[in-house]
Amino acid sequence: MTMDQYAETFREETLELLSELEVGLLELEQNPEDVDVIGRVFRALHTVKGSAGMIGFDEISRFTHEVETVFELVRSGGLPVTGELVNLTLAARDIIREMLDKNLAGESADTEIAEQLVAALRGLVPTQDDFSANGVAETAELIASGDNETSFHIRFRPPANIFHRGIQPLGLLQELTRLGSCKVIAQTDAIPGLDELDPELCYLYWDIILTTEHDEDRIRDVFIFVEDDCELKILPINEDLLAQSGEGGRLGDILVQHGDLSRDDLERVLQAQNKPKLGEALVQAGVVTGAQLDVALEVQAEVKRQKQKREAVEESSSIRVRSEKLDSLVDLIGELVTVQARLSQTTAGQDDPVLNEIAEEVERLTWEMRDHILNIRMLPIGTTFSRFQRLVRDLSQELGKEAVLVTAGAETELDKTVIDRLGDPLVHLIRNSIDHGLESPEARRKAGKPEQGTIFLSASHSGANVILEVRDDGGGINRDAIRDRARSRGLLTSEMETSEAELINLIFSPGFSTVGEVSSVSGRGVGMDVVKQAIDSLRGTITVTSAAGKGTTFTIKLPLTLAIIDGLLVQVAGEKFVLPLSAVEECIELSRQDVANANNRNLIKVRGEIVPYLRLRERFSLNGTPPEIEQVVIAEAMGQRVGFAVDHVIGEHQTVIKALGQMYRNVKGLSGATILGDGTVALILDLPPLVQDAEADERILTDSIH
Amino acid sequence: MAKKIMAVDDSATIRQVLSFTLQGAGFEVIEAEDGQAALEKLANDPPDMLITDLNMPRMDGIQLIREVRQSSWGKFIPILMLTTESQEAKKQEGKAAGASAWLVKPFKPEQLLAIINVVLL
Amino acid sequence: MEYLTFKLDGDEFAVDVLKTREIVDLRTVTKVPQSPDFMLGVINLRGSVVPVIDLRLKFGMEKVAAGQSTSIVVMDVLVGGETLIVGAMVDSVEEVLGLDDSQIEPAPRIGTRLNTEFIKGMGKQDEQFLIILDIDRVFSTDELAMVQGAAEQPAFAE
């Protein structure tokens, strides 16, 4: 923007300066070392640049700056005046002249020629380091930073001779008051007696509590002209002070921080203090002045205000809700999911596009809402992780091992209920890793490993599941020991072929323990089977992998939430049941012929592998005869593949889990109930106890036969 | 009564910008084209504030500030010096001579008035 | 005090009306395996899973096919200090009636078909006797323990 009212003055002045420049340059051609002339040439360029910049002729200003920069170098003796320099500068003068006319007419000059000239001028300069400086660089804009108000305690002690620099402290203080709400306290303790007082000196200093939306730099700007000579402390009144104590920062600490009180004096007065008010005691002891105390009290009050404000903000940004309320919300969304399923089922049978569209929309909203509500119950698992650090430290000491716990994914979120119930199994796994997994420091040294073993505990998301890993860099699981133990326990017959994975997963079988002597750590009554059960009850799975000499990894896979699961809906004798889909591997048909081929034993061949199955009809004492072709749902339970024979497999079902309640608390093999789309209730199977019971019965039968 | 400010600069354009801006803000402005001219006018009619360029013929701004501070009337008056980006050393020299504040050219009228607000009561 | 009365095998029973929540028509009951016969199963009561007891079987009466008037009385029952919502299947629901304490006599030691522990007293109305039930006792923990007993029985079909 050109300031038109100055244009004519500027034109006249510039023309005058340009002819001065021309004369000067011609003189330099004769006397290249005439300092006065060099000064005149420089000043002419400098003034053109300044004036042009001032009234918005940026093109002239920028270009002249380049020329001026070269002449600044000449003036300081860094560059000799040569014929070439004079020629280039004369050319530059002509360009400025042209720019002047063009710019005054509102046009731009030929930038190409200008650029070429600038390049040529730069070519004369030996080093080109600082040529990027822009002649029309903006002076610092005074911009407010953000909307948030912060408070500062400012201690401003001007130099005693401030009046001799023509500066009134009052002006600075007034400027501060424009930045925000301000409380100014004058400190008079440095005023000497009348006989020593020099009326031309400033003895006062000030404390200012400023609450402003500007930042510290803006405050500093106010003092920019005296900053180098004055004492200026700008302390944000903030969290740090809040952290010092619950009640708005202790008064004594604030005074010490301000430099108004020594720590020693504070301690002395604190000890001698018999009054309730520290402030009064300090003033009375003469270690602080009343005004200094006022400031500290003001800061303290401000801290308190801020704390209240922060708490108010925190309260409004997050609210505490009783978990019962969330539970009832989860119940309600469960009902909604159920009703929505009914709606979809009902509308699906009808040829009404409008109704179907509504049903689909309701379905979408319902699932969205479900996700949000379940998400409310999610907590980061890290709260559980922290307690394990101590555990690892104590245990490794007790066992004479060196171990460090490394955790990852502490921010991974899981349903609160799951987290609560995960603690014990994790403790057990970590104990196991230190006790059985990690070798002694000597053994590790011999194996070429660092003496300190590492336990890795990590959590991560994987689809609708959370994966937890407990990994050690120990010796790995001894497979032979497991095989021997499994045989002696009858978990494995000598002719049974087992894969590596199946073998080591036997450690989850009930009553399994590979270490002969009972150690005080892992041998305390619970084995891996208990861990397995705990994970099962969370509808999760646990597997183990191990590499000899390298270590062992336990992997726990958990559903994100307990309230709703993916289920497989099946039917037996007209009753419907739900199996947790996470455990289901596949479904296989079972014909009467298959049963006959297996000699009526409950065994089925699944791709070459013999899998035992149990009949839900039998286990639940249900009436009726099975259909010609039954279905066997192959699932993973108790660390093995087990089939569940049912009449029909209906399909997948989003299952909202309802407790069966107190009256059925002793019923085994059921983990709850769910309401189906048609409004009836289906029972949810708890597979591990079903398998356990079946095995127990089998044993009783086998025992009675022999 | 309107406060009186003396504006010293060898550039007529800048003097005009200063005058226009300051008069618009209600100040009375006396112009001078260099330090020598300023001193001659100041002695008879001391202003409430002085704004001076640094690089001027005859007497530069630094010398002018020194003279003013040593005078009987100019001990405490606010002095604003106009500098450019490249004049850091000059700025320090001016401060040592007794300048109250400085303003980097080119400036906007608002910036000038903002500084006057701080240094001139 | 007011009582809700209902019929079971020709006899009229009464429960404190304050213990009752609602009366619902018989609906599909899902049998829970390994539970005694008198525990009919669970129903869907507006999204909640509520257990239902067949009071006939509970009181040792003969099982009959459900009829038109068969109803489920949903009640709050105090078991082991905890309030449970339980449905009781009855032949028919009769009425709500008020009875003074004077109209109630203590339970006879003999002459009723059921455990006298379950009986709070006998009410008399129009020459007809009402058996006033202590419904919390009917569902007492001792009684519920039967579920466990049942669960421990071998559950094989053969």
The reply to whether omega before A559 is within 30° of 0 (cis) is: no
Bridge partners (DSSP) listed for residue A406: A456
Region A600-609 average pLDDT: 85
Cα–Cα distance measured from residue A488 to residue A480, given in angstroms and rounded to the nearest whole number: 12
Residues of chain A in contact with residue B77, where contact means CB-CB under 8 angstroms, are 166
**pLDDT at A620 exceeding the cut of 60:** yes
Region A671-675 average pLDDT: 86
Of B77, B99, B106, the CB nearest to A136: B106
Region A441-452 average pLDDT: 89
Cα–Cα distance measured from residue B86 to residue A132, given in angstroms and rounded to the nearest whole number: 12
Q: Which pLDDT score is estimated for A244?
A: 53
Region A42-60 average pLDDT: 85
Region A671-693 average pLDDT: 86
More confident residue, A220 or A561: A220
Determine the distance in angstroms separating the CA of A267 from the nearest CA of chain C, rounded to an integer: 58
Q: A86 near A28, Cβ under 8 Å? A: yes
What would the DSSP string read from start to end of A330-354?
A: HHHHHHHHHHHHHHHHHHHTS--HH
- What are A171-208's pLDDT values in tens digits? 888 888 888 888 888 888 888 888 888 888 888 888 88
One-letter identity of residue A71 = F
Q: Which pLDDT score is estimated for A143?
A: 32
One-letter identity of residue A315 = E
CB within 8 Å: C32 and A660: yes
Per-residue three-class SS string for C95-134: EEEECCHHHEECCCCCCCCCCHHHEEEEEEECCEEEEEEC
Substitution target from A2, A18, A36, A47 for chain B, most B beta carbons within 10 A:
A47
Residue B8, C-beta contacts closer than 8 angstroms, at least 6 positions apart: B31, B32, B33, B34, B35, B37, B38, B50, B51, B52, B53, B56, B61, B64
CB within 8 Å: A663 and C156: no
Where does the pLDDT of residue A595 fall: very low under 50, low under 70, confident under 90, or very high at 90 and above? confident
Best-predicted range by mean pLDDT (A43-52, A557-566, A694-703): A43-52
Asked which of A123-137, A383-397, A482-496, B17-31 is least confident by mean pLDDT, the reply is A123-137
* A57, closest residue in chain B (CA to CA): B106
Determine the distance in angstroms separating the CA of C93 from the nearest CA of chain A, rounded to an integer: 24
Residues of chain A in contact with residue B60, where contact means CB-CB under 8 angstroms, are none
Structure tokens at B31: 């112009």
Provide the residue count of chain C: 158
Region C119-130 average pLDDT: 82
Residues of chain C in contact with residue A338, where contact means CB-CB under 8 angstroms, are 47
Substitution target from B56, B107, B117, B118 for chain A, most A beta carbons within 10 A:
B118
Structure tokens at C142: 């001792």
- What are C76-98's pLDDT values in tens digits? 888 766 778 899 999 999 989 88
**pLDDT at C70 exceeding the cut of 90:** yes
Q: Which chains touch A (3 or more CB pairs under 8 A)?
A: B, C
Provide the residue count of chain A: 706
What would the DSSP string read from start to end of A540-578?
A: -EEEEEEETTTEEEEEEEEES-SSEEEEEEEEETTEEEE
| Helix or strand run (H / E) with residue A41 | helix A35-54
Region B21-42 average pLDDT: 87
More confident residue, A665 or A563: A665
Q: Which pLDDT score is estimated for A705?
A: 45
Q: Which pLDDT score is estimated for A146?
A: 35
Cα–Cα distance measured from residue A463 to residue A473, given in angstroms and rounded to the nearest whole number: 28
Please state whether at least 3 CB pairs lie below 8 Å between chains B and C.
Answer: no
Asked which of A229-238, A276-285, A313-322, A572-581 is least confident by mean pLDDT, the reply is A313-322
CB within 8 Å: B106 and A53: yes
A129-to-A66, A77, A84, A125, A132 alpha-carbon distances in Å: 13, 17, 21, 10, 8
> What's the alpha-carbon Rg for chain A, to the nearest Å?
43
**CA nearest neighbour of A654 among A676, A637, A638, A634:** A676
Bridge partners (DSSP) listed for residue A186: A206
Contacts 24+ apart (CB under 8 A), C145-153: C146/C36, C147/A663, C147/A664, C147/A666, C147/A667, C147/C34, C147/C35, C147/C36, C147/C39, C148/A666, C149/C36, C150/C34, C150/C35, C150/C36, C151/A666, C151/A667, C151/A668, C151/C34, C151/C35
Asked which of A94-103, A107-116, A129-138, B81-90 is least confident by mean pLDDT, the reply is A129-138
pTM: 0.43
Of A618, A659, A680, the CB nearest to C157: A618
Region A135-147 average pLDDT: 33
Hey, which residues of A are catalytic here? 46, 68, 432
Cα–Cα distance measured from residue A309 to residue A299, given in angstroms and rounded to the nearest whole number: 15
**CA nearest neighbour of A532 among A424, A444, A418, A628:** A424
**pLDDT at A340 exceeding the cut of 60:** yes
Burial state string for A223-235 with b = 16 or more CB within 10 A and e = fewer than 16: bebbeebbebebb
* C142, closest residue in chain A (CA to CA): A663
Q: B35 near B10, Cβ under 8 Å? A: no
Q: Which pLDDT score is estimated for A129?
A: 41
Cα–Cα distance measured from residue A664 to residue C24, given in angstroms and rounded to the nearest whole number: 22
CB within 8 Å: B11 and A72: no
**pLDDT at A328 exceeding the cut of 60:** yes
Asked which of A22-26, A319-323, A605-609, A682-686 is least confident by mean pLDDT, the reply is A319-323
Cα–Cα distance measured from residue A332 to residue A352, given in angstroms and rounded to the nearest whole number: 28
CA A121 to chain centre: 53
Chain B interface includes A481 (CB < 8 A): no
**pLDDT at A613 exceeding the cut of 80:** yes
CB within 8 Å: A663 and C28: no
Region A306-316 average pLDDT: 66
Q: Which pLDDT score is estimated for A140?
A: 31
Residues of chain C in contact with residue A668, where contact means CB-CB under 8 angstroms, are 34, 151
Interface of A with C (CB under 8 A): 331-332, 334-335, 338-339, 575-576, 617-622, 658-664, 666-670, 673, 675, 679-683, 697
Where does the pLDDT of residue A463 fall: very low under 50, low under 70, confident under 90, or very high at 90 and above? low
- Average per-residue pLDDT for chain A: 80
Asked which of A426-435, A555-564, C92-101 is least confident by mean pLDDT, the reply is A555-564
Best-predicted range by mean pLDDT (A296-300, A334-338, C38-42): C38-42
CB within 8 Å: C32 and A670: yes
Region A513-523 average pLDDT: 46
Cα–Cα distance measured from residue B31 to residue B29, given in angstroms and rounded to the nearest whole number: 6
Q: Which pLDDT score is estimated for A497?
A: 64
Q: Which pLDDT score is estimated for A292?
A: 84
Asked which of A579-583, A690-694, C138-142 is least confident by mean pLDDT, the reply is C138-142
- What are A521-532's pLDDT values in tens digits? 444 334 787 788
What would the DSSP string read from start to end of A228-280?
A: TTSEEEEEEESHHHHHH-TTSS-HHHHHHHHTSS-HHHHHHHHHH--SS-HHH
Asked which of A81-90, A128-137, B22-31 is least confident by mean pLDDT, the reply is A128-137
Residue A701, C-beta contacts closer than 8 angstroms, at least 6 positions apart: none
CB within 8 Å: B13 and A6: yes
Q: Which pLDDT score is estimated for A1?
A: 42
**C residues 123-152 closer than 8 Å to A (CB):** 139, 144, 147-148, 151
Residue C89, C-beta contacts closer than 8 angstroms, at least 6 positions apart: C26, C40, C52, C53, C54, C55, C56, C66, C70, C71, C72
CB within 8 Å: A334 and C48: no
Q: Angle, to 10 degrees, between the axis of helix A416-432 and the axis of helix A382-398?
A: 20
Of A662, A664, A675, the CB nearest to C32: A664
Pairing of strands B4-8, B49-53: parallel
Substitution target from A43, A104, A225 for chain B, most B beta carbons within 10 A:
A225
Q: A258 near A292, Cβ under 8 Å? A: yes
CB within 8 Å: B106 and A163: no
Of A620, A666, A681, the CB nearest to C42: A681
> What's the alpha-carbon Rg for chain B, to the nearest Å?
13
A121-to-A63, A84, A91, A546, B51 alpha-carbon distances in Å: 11, 9, 11, 74, 34
Residues of chain A in contact with residue C75, where contact means CB-CB under 8 angstroms, are none
Asked which of A439-453, A508-522, C141-155 is least confident by mean pLDDT, the reply is C141-155
Region A374-398 average pLDDT: 80
Structure tokens at A342: 């009914």
Region C3-29 average pLDDT: 90
Chain B interface includes A199 (CB < 8 A): no
ipTM, two decimals, is 0.84
Q: Phi-psi region for residue A167, left (φ > 0), alpha (ψ -120 to 50) or beta?
A: beta
Residues of chain A in contact with residue C156, where contact means CB-CB under 8 angstroms, are 618, 621, 697
Cα–Cα distance measured from residue B109 to residue B116, given in angstroms and rounded to the nearest whole number: 11
Q: Which pLDDT score is estimated for A275?
A: 58
CB atoms closer than 10 angstroms to residue B37: 17
Q: Which pLDDT score is estimated for C110?
A: 65
Q: A233 near A210, Cβ under 8 Å? A: no
Q: Which pLDDT score is estimated for A133?
A: 36
Q: Which pLDDT score is estimated for A400?
A: 85
Taking CB atoms and an 8 Å cut-off, how many pairs form between chains A and C?
96
Structure tokens at A589: 């048909």
